[in-house]
Structure 1
Amino acid sequence: MKKLGLLPKLIIGIIIGIILGTTRIEFLVRLLVTFSGIFGNFLGYVIPLLIIGFVAPGIAELGNKAGKLLGITAGIAYASTVLAGILAFVAASLILPAIITAGRETAAEGLVAEPYFEIQMPAIMGIMTALVTAFLLGLGMAAIKSDTMFRFMKEFQQIIQKVIESIIIPLLPIHIAGIFSRMAYAGEVAETLAVFGRVFILVIAIHIIFIIFQYLVAGSITGVNPFRAIKNMLPAYFTAIGTQSSAATIPVTVRSTLNNDVSDEVAEFAIPLCATIHLAGSTIALTMTAIAVMAIEGMTLGFGEVLPFILMLGVTMVAAPGVPGGAIMAAVGLLETMLGFTDGQLALMMALYIAQDSFGTAANVTGDGAIALIVNKFARS
């Protein structure tokens, strides 16, 4: 099992949960539901720490980098991420109601699997408090150039990343199994799985459309053939599908970017930076899956609710951990506070997001190449 990736483990967890819930083995279902409740509470405790641990040093690192190219690159990356989220919202609003209509009509059979017991783990601070604290610390470290504080925050970041890699990610399939066992026990799982497949295909399609849009814009600014540029970035795209990490794909992304006649200096600066601040593919997936999860339960989200979420998402995922599912972990707090997600909705969201995580990462790194093309144009002017 250790050699399996996160996605196969997640699929196994879903299958086991559905089998146990469908066969109505009550004590096993309740056991899984108990674990899911404890895990969900632990996750709620960790999220504020994760935000501080990753956002604060990420902002401090950005602040320590000098030069006009930093502002240009960061601005383009943020604009790209926000545009990606808006495109995802428009596509989801137009297409998802037709895809998920049947899911709204699916009625539960009235059976509820209750946990044997609960363990409360109140977070040490709220999500927005953690975000403000992270900004304050990050900007403060950059302003006073505090090496001591920065080293402390980097070590704190390593601790939180260890928690994610050693506890949260390995136990996540069991948590998902508990959620799906409860859904199957109540008779709610069939249409949910059907919706998963449709949303997955839609997310990949929007990824491809946005990548083409990015390179059309880059091509119009730089004069480069956008489709030749995309072809040159394909090695990075397919490598990211395998690594599920923008950071791990940096060497291939840099090499692919150099094939588009971007200078060594720009490629070696822009690509590592964008690997941590440009998450257009992840934003598309998070936005669409959030709307899909709400639609499964017959709820809708308006643009006025989703836009602030997208704007904050572009900031909160700065320096998201380079592990599979890192972006969704960084976004959980916003889903709770800004969109009102429950534990069950968060678990569905995780399952939906992680199923396409590798493709979201691939869209991220391919888009990094388009940003590098534009930055290269500014660097030469």
Structure 2
Amino acid sequence: NTGDNFQIRINATTSTSDLHSIQFDVNYDPAVLTLSSVSEGAFLSSDGRVTIFNYSSFGSGLADDIYNARNTTYADSSPGINGTGTIAILNFTAISVGSSNISLFNVTWVNSSILNASAAVIIPTINNGSVNVASVPCVLTNATWSATSVTEGQQVSLTVTGTNCDGQTLNFSVWEDDGIIDELLGNGDDNVTQNPSNVAFSGNTATATWNSAEWQNDCGGLCNPPEYYFISTLVTNSSTTINSKSVGNPMLTVDKLYNANEIFIQPDTQTVNLGQNFIVNVNGRAPVTASDVYGLEYNINYDSGILSVNSVTEGTMLNSYGAVTTFNYTLSSGKIHAYDVRNVTNGTANPGVYTDEGTFLIINFSAVSAGASGLNISDLIWVNSTITNMSVGIPGVTITNGSVGVNAGANNPPVISN
């Protein structure tokens, strides 16, 4: 890999016989490799003989005049060496991706007859080599959101760190985590409609932007607010990937952005058993991007043949922050008429309420007959703090009705008479 240091050994093979001295040059590609040192191998001195080792120069793709010889006198009878071993060691550094040949040339191989002034220059068989240099793989080490909670439509950043990744490009996919409930139902996580654009690493960091955080209704509303994680993958290698959830980082929670006043039944649908008591809330929203709420008057219509009202209680939305309210209701067949308004407290008028969600009314029902009943809001008057006439409400309030189904006989245990 690029950046690695490694050795190339110039070896004599098993067929070597009576080697006294050798001189050679080595050629390599300086665009791929750099040569840092040349040193003697142990072969010619392996029997304890003193040797001479030197070289002329090295660099720019050439190691010149590498020379290794056994230091002998005319008194020696057999100064050559037989066998196999290393003649020279070249230490290289891989500096760029590519391939480089390691080639020997100008080889002079001399046997021991040099002592008799009739040196025999042997023509050896030369086996050259090559080196392939690969890039160091990019390793993704962490993936994090820039925040743990945002509101729908807000911008949020996604950051991935890695090693050996400078200049590499990542793609990003954001997923809404469906949690345990949907997993038990066999539903997979949901991809968002618009993912962040690809981003290249700058050094060890790549930061993308999710321009508009998306809100999804998580497992039918039971798991809201939705939570999101992201997966980032190297464009050039799809097996190099990282998951912000899998590495143990917090997921991103996205809260719903509400732009209109709303009043709605919560839960909007439910199924109960015959004889069962259950709670239905009348909830509302008064976001700061719309209008506040100062008072309400409305009807809740239901099927009195299916449901019976046990109690009606004021919620906490209008009497929040210690405000004194006027609250009353009347019951008639199949209808609850409710009235709730913030009053003057200690001589000071209470301001209207802004909130993403609160409860206006709590109704305790009994299921008295099998069947289905709508829970419908009608004749709504929504008054904000700028209106003093409770008979004139603001326009444009969104109304969402609900329903209840009653199962027959589910709560009728067997009776033992004797």
Q: TM-score, normalised by structure 2?
A: 0.18
The one of the two structures with greater contact order (alpha-carbon pairs below 8 A, sep at least 6) is: 1
Q: TM-score, normalised by structure 1?
A: 0.19
Query: Which is greater in Rg?
Result: 2
Structure 1 or 2: more strand by fraction: 2
